[in-house]
Amino acid sequence: MSKIVKNIKEQKKIDKAPFKDYWGKENYIFLVLSLVVLVIGYYVMTIGPWDSTLSMEVSPIILLIAYLILIPLTLFFKIPTKIKQKFNVPGKD
């Protein structure tokens, strides 16, 4: 019987991660923006007495915007390659 001999180079082939360097400059801007909005939301919650309009209505709306819109936008935002090429936007693909 003959044995199948595999090439050593084929065995040591390392696959690159598909999400390597996924975040660009825009993602970090959205991250900082979302953290600032979170801090503002929690700060507004501490202003005035516990049953004030700011603490009970405005602050939760600010926090919902940060948690439900800005943080997911930070995680999933990516400029499409066609737009990068059209407007000559620097960045990694």
What is the per-residue pLDDT across 15-39, written as a single tens digit (0 to 9) for each? 666 666 678 888 999 999 999 999 9
Q: Please provide the DSSP assignment of 28-88 as one string.
A: HHHHHHHHHHHHHHHHHHHSS-TTSHIIIIIHHHHHHHIIIIIHHHHHH----HHHHHHHT
Residue 7 clears pLDDT 90, i.e. is over it: no
Mean pLDDT of the chain: 82
What is the per-residue pLDDT across 58-74, written as a single tens digit (0 to 9) for each? 999 999 999 999 999 99
Structure tokens at 1: 């019987």
Q: How far apart are CA 55 and CA 50, in angstroms?
A: 6
Confidence label for 2 from pLDDT (cuts 50, 70 and 90) = low
Look at residue 22 in the predicted model and tell me its pLDDT: 76
Find where tokens 């930070």 sit: 74
